Amino acid sequence: MLDRMYSAKTLGSQISEGIQHYFMIQDDARPVGFIAFEKTGESGGFINKFYVLQSTQRKGTGKVAFQLLIARFPEADEIKLQVNRMNIQAINFYFKVGFSIESATDFDIGSGYFMNDFIMCWKK
């Protein structure tokens, strides 16, 4: 999965083709995370990746990053994402910034592995 979703070739093509918009999250000019966002239609979006270093979590960094993201895409009335159902810390963060759980889904990623995720949705 890592080779397929996070290889330099995959990330590079997503950026160069404009499929996903990548935003570096910084704290005092130090990179501490990133967000990958994809527009879905005229008023929708999907967060494909949202990572913040554990050492900077619970300090408001993720909340500010999300607020900047929605300011960058004011036309996005609805934003969705997938999060592992066992990632309680991330789920609680998404609740705090206004997401709600839309559904629980199991995604077959091959070789007998599944991603057991919640689909979460934020609405303006």
Instruction: Provide the residue ranges of all domains of the chain, joining segments of one domain with +.
Output: 2-123
Total Cβ atoms within 10 A of residue 56 = 16
- Name the strand (E) or helix (H) holding 45: strand 44-52
pLDDT digits (tens, 9 = 90+) for 82-115: 999 999 999 999 999 999 999 999 988 888 888 8
The class level of CATH for 2-123 reads alpha beta
Q: What is the DSSP letter of 107?
A: E
From the list 71, 118, 55, the residue with the least C-alpha distance to 92 is: 118
User: What's the rounded mean pLDDT across residues 30-44?
Assistant: 94
Supply the pTM of this predicted model. Answer: 0.86
Give the pLDDT confidence score for residue 108 in this predicted structure.
87
**Encoded amino acid at 34, one letter:** F
Note whether 29 and 2 are within 8 A (CB): no
Between 13-17, 62-66, 67-71, the lowest mean confidence (pLDDT) is in 13-17
